[in-house]
Chains A and B, each alone.
Chain A
Amino acid sequence: MNELVCKCGHVNKEGSELCLQCGRTLTEQAEQRKTSDVMRYEGMARRSQTYKRSVIDRIWNFFSSVKVGVWLIVITLVASAIGTIFPQELFIPRNIDPAAYYEDRYGLAGKIYYVLGFHNLYGSWWYMLLIAAIGTSIIIASLDRGVPLYKALKNQRVERHGSFLKRQRIYSEYVTDRPVEKLEEIGAGLEKKKYKIRKENNHLLAEKGRFSRWGPYVNHTGLIIFLIGAMLRFVPGMYVDEQLWIREGETLNIPGTDQQYFLENKGFTLETYNEGQDSDVFDATLQRVGPVAKNFQTDAVLYKREEGDIAGSANREMEPLFEQPIQVNIPLKFDGFALYQTDYIENEFHTMSFTLENKETEESFGQFTVDLFNPEQDGLYDLGNGYQVEMMGLYPDFSGFEDGEPQSASPLPNNPAFLFKMITPDKPDGEVAFIGIQQNLEPLGENEYALSFSGLETRDVSGLTVRKDLTLWILALGGAIFMIGVVQGAYWNHRRVWLKAGEDGKLYVAGHTNKNWFGLKKDLSASFEGTDLAIPEDHQELKDSKGTAKEEQERGTTGQHQ
């Protein structure tokens, strides 16, 4: 290893810019660079700036570069924005072919969007790859800088060479007859401002807020933990996302719980705001936009199946665990699961009642009720006195005839229709009637008897989302660590002041902070009060630049970091 021996005799690692002992610049290059750039990592050797040969070096250097990091962030940002131009696939109606949807609705632009895969951008492999690259970059960049920075700040010396002081942005020399006394005075002033003071041989180092230098490393750690949490989502068992449609009065197994838990729906309520009933301040809105939803609620009871019970035996006696209304924003929680109110269907048909009549005399021979979900096993409804109705067919979602056969589009009772045989004492073979909503057919010829609707019962169906997410605590931990880190790095600063009472009778003062120079200067002006010395000068170069960032770059005074 090439070592760099400083004039003061200290042996520094290859790649160092400032001597760890005295602060002298060690290379020609370091001499040329802006002080704030050199000071960022205390002039320490960084792996990425020192080794550039092997493949591993190259990969390391690539990911440790902030330039690369920023590019990754910017590309992710732009890609994310493109993903919001048209709705993502998961937001478009489910029963439509996406290929057709994008083209029909958005024309050529929509087609291009679909063909390039932007309709499913956030789940695409290259988007994931971008996030992974950012993660890698954060880890490598932090190690590359964090470790040397930690070593430098831990071994910080009080005594610094004159050239080090002179290079600082805040620097002044004072001719005074009592330099040591002044040094003590200013030191005391800084101590009042909560600086930690260290003294050695007429040198003084005042320092405060060093911990804020760890802010970025803490927040990056938080980000990495968060990303790991997000990845765990894909591990089986960590994440459950199911939908449970449950009708009023039903008790159903909760999907995803291994037949362990059951839920009873005791009733679903939908409330709206009403003029006159709710506060009068809402009247104007209600008149403008019409009814506004106020509450969606399922009154639910949770049951747990006892050990040893047979799976699927929902009807067996189960102990209710507890009862709770599930509302939007108030999920029902148990055993790592949460049930959310997310959807509903109002007034689904439940039972339908019919009356058997003689068409001519309009005499009635009794009434019966068909439970659409649970019809009589043998299809026979006995009305007494020899009158009977046999249900020959039930078509819950009647969609028309095919080859003379009635069809049902789905098992849901959206449009129920029935094929009945009416058996009466005078027609023991029965008469056949097809009955649907707004429909009454007599397929086998003119009947003497007829069935008429005489009652309808409906009930609401509640749509609940069943969710379990075992990654949440990891995400919360990552988020919390991230927040601590950003606040630590942003709301505190690392400020240092070096004082030196020289043998030449002069007092040297230099100051550095990683950010917020205004704050450092305020501290200095407070601690210089009463010393009859002017506060040290700020050698900032920023003054009127007239939009010349470009020239600045050409001069090489900015953007030196890789």
Chain B
Amino acid sequence: MAQLASISSTLLYTAFVLYLIATVFFAGSIKSKKHTNQIGKNRWATIGITITIIGFAAQLGYFITRWIAAGHAPLSNLFEFITFFAMMLVLSFIIIYFMYRLHILGVFALPIALLIIAYSSMFPRDVSPLIPALQSDWLFIHVSTVAAGEAILAISFVAGLIYLLKDVDLTKGGKQVFWLEAVLIGLMLVVGFIVSSISFSIAGAGAEFSYVNPEDQQVTAEYAMPALVVPNEGELLTEGAFATSLEMPAIVNAARLNTVIWSLLFGAGIYLLIRLITRKKLAGILQPLVRKANPDLLDEIGYRSVLIGFPVFTLGGLIFAMIWAQIAWTRFWGWDPKEVWALITFLFYAAFLHLRLSRGWEGNRSAWLAVIGFVIIMFNLVAVNLIIAGLHSYA
């Protein structure tokens, strides 16, 4: 079984590399002088989508082999859930691609999937046994449907982002330029997190502290990165490790805050470096890629993916969730933070649809709403797990 688990990891790694190569081909497809059409048949894009599909098959292989090795659907911790989300994102992209054959979508969707997989692998990757509450077929039914719904909704973010890069006039400045850059910087911070995690893990910069938690108990905290902030009444246990004397109050999870600070520093550093070298905003670097994109089609794809994704998300995130909660937790709804954020996501996309249908929020506004929707989904996926502790607390 341990051997199968290692085959599984290799397959995931393979998928990652294939998605990377496919991105290059999609980029080639829109740059190609010979095939200038950005839609329809184009050799570069055909190779790109073929590699994407092989990559998806590899990732599916990862999923199935890990399932067999673990004896349960590999959706039981953050690493597994986030990689699965990335896999669904690629699947949604493939489906939407065959509906519209818009090449530019691949140039943005695949890197985002790559970023998400890289992000997920920063969490513990061990195959973990299932606690009693998770021992149910509903684990797979509920979690996979939620991930699929969110992934389809994420495609509307991809289309919206491309739309905005094309639509927003960077030379004029203003709020839209600012926020567009902010969204791209947000993606850059994820890069910062990944780069800092890897660097410090190679450098072996981790440390342990003993500290006093809000319940007045003496416990230990693990730091993966040099301690810029120290936990409440924290005492360094690792000899020779770096630590400042900036002590946090008990309710703050200092180890996580420390990671966030480092990610911000690295992300900001990388961002500034790029700006110094290119003398351009991130949006300005990406804009030439989207010059030929068709805004009508992007708008249509953004709307369509919300239309397809909303029912799937509702089914998985609310209905299946309620059925399972009734079975496992005795009540279908309990105002657990994760539940509330699923409701918020649902309400947000309901508002999106109403604004579009009845108030004519198309094009630019619709694209912004798609971006905000994605931010909400990411918040629920990442922040609610890490910041707000609830019943869903994944390891």
Using CB atoms and an 8 Å cutoff, list the residues of chain A in contact with chain B.
34, 36-37, 40, 66-67, 69-70, 73-74, 76-77, 80-81, 83-84, 88, 90-91, 105-107, 122, 241, 273, 278-282, 284-286, 288-289, 292-296, 327-329, 331, 338, 340-342, 465, 467, 469, 472, 475, 479, 482-483, 486-487, 490-491, 515-518, 540, 542-549, 558-561
Contact = CB atoms under 8 A, between A and B. Distances in A.
A292 B295 CA distance: 52
A342 B334 CA distance: 15
A73 B347 contact: yes
B311 A486 contact: yes
Interface string B223-264: 000000000000000000000000001010000000000000
A73 B350 contact: yes
B278 to A, nearest CB: 23
Contacts of A482: 314
Contacts of B166: 544
B300 A559 contact: no
B168 A282 contact: no
Given A279-B71, A545-B167, A545-B364, A284 B126 contact: yes
A88 B335 contact: yes
Contacts of B304: 516, 518
A553 to B, nearest CB: 9
Contact of B311 (A338, A469, A490, A561): A490
A36 B358 CA distance: 10
Interface string B133-146: 10110100000000
Contacts of A278: 129
Given A69-B354, A329-B327, 20 more contacts: A34-B360, A70-B355, A76-B347, A77-B351, A81-B340, A81-B344, A90-B335, A279-B129, A289-B395, A292-B131, A293-B131, A295-B132, A328-B133, A328-B135, A331-B330, A475-B332, A483-B315, A486-B314, A518-B304, A547-B168
Interface in B282-313: 295-297, 299-300, 303-304, 307-308, 310-311
A549 B364 contact: yes
Given A83-B335, A83-B340, A84-B337, A285 B126 contact: yes
Contacts of A106: 251
B349 to A, nearest CB: 10
Nearest to A331: B327
A364 B389 CA distance: 57
A393 B87 CA distance: 67
B163 to A, nearest CB: 10
Contact of B167 (A329, A331, A546): A546
A546 B360 CA distance: 17
A102 to B, nearest CB: 11
A280 B330 contact: no
A73 B308 CA distance: 21
12 contacts: A70-B355, A77-B347, A80-B344, A105-B251, A279-B71, A281-B69, A292-B128, A329-B135, A338-B330, A482-B314, A549-B363, A558-B359
A475 B323 CA distance: 11
B132 A294 contact: yes
B331 interface: yes
B251 A288 contact: no
Nearest to B131: A293
Size class of the B contact interface (CB-based, 8 Å): 35 or more
A400 to B, nearest CB: 22
Given A106-B251, A479-B319, A486-B314, A285 B127 contact: yes
B176 interface: yes
A543 to B, nearest CB: 6
A122 B355 contact: no
A282 B124 CA distance: 12
A331 B1 CA distance: 32
Contacts of B341: 81, 84
A282 B355 contact: no
Contacts of B357: 40, 66
Nearest to B300: A518
B136 A558 contact: no
A261 B110 CA distance: 58
A105 B355 CA distance: 40
Interface in B133-172: 133, 135-136, 138, 164, 166-169
B35 interface: no
Given A542-B363, A558-B360, A560-B360, A122 B335 contact: yes
Contacts of B318: 479
B108 interface: no
B132 A546 contact: no
B132 A547 contact: no
B326 A472 contact: yes
Contacts of B350: 73
Nearest to A485: B311
A73 B354 contact: yes
Contacts of B331: 241, 467, 469
B351 A74 contact: yes
Given A294-B129, A328-B132, A515 B328 contact: no
Contacts of A73: 347, 350-351, 354
A546 B214 CA distance: 52
B362 interface: yes
Give the 10 A-B residue pairs with the shortest CB-CB distance, closest first: A328-B132, A66-B358, A558-B360, A284-B126, A285-B128, A281-B127, A549-B364, A490-B307, A84-B337, A285-B126
Nearest to A281: B127
A327 B133 CA distance: 9
A544 B214 contact: no
Nearest to B345: A77
B71 A40 contact: no
A282 B128 contact: yes
B327 to A, nearest CB: 6
Contacts of A559: 359-361
